[in-house]
Amino acid sequence: MHASAYQIELPESPEAVVFVNGFVARDRAGLLWMWRKLFWIRDKTAQAEGCVQIKSGICGPNEVVMVSYWRSEKSLKAFFRSESHRQMMQFSGKNPSSLCLYNETYRPSQSGKYTHEAQGMATLYGAYGVPSSDRSVKKV
């Protein structure tokens, strides 16, 4: 069985952004907080206006990374000002040594490659099964 691979054609200046953030627990308090809040954080992020998709992964017992896809930097910044995000950051403010937090924001410069179904940027700029006459999708 062979899956068709495809790429999407991005707009010249894509508005969408990819947000990568992670947590590294540095002590017992950070570890307990991270595992108690992990699914809540993922769910609140996924429900935020402008978030199209979120992927979370366990890097090890004390580290988690999340990658979220946003319609625009404006929607991501609105999430940073939300009550949910404030609640997420409360623990870190009260326990600054318990967690190492990091985040990076990227704009796509070229298409990824996809098979079977749209994931990531393809959920915004293309979809599997779009007729080949549609310029936003091309087979690879």
- Give pTM, 2 decimals: 0.84
Contact 114, 20 (CB under 8 A): no
The per-residue pLDDT string of the chain (140 residues; one tens digit each, 9 = 90 and over) reads 566 787 888 888 889 999 999 999 999 999 999 999 999 999 999 999 999 999 999 999 999 999 999 999 999 999 999 998 999 899 999 999 999 999 999 998 888 888 888 888 888 887 543 433 344 555 55
Q: Please report, for the chain, the start and end positions of each structural domain, with discontinuous segments joined by +.
A: 1-13+111-140, 17-106
pLDDT score, position 115: 83
CATH class, 17-106 region: alpha beta
For strands 137-139 and 114-115, give the pairing: unpaired
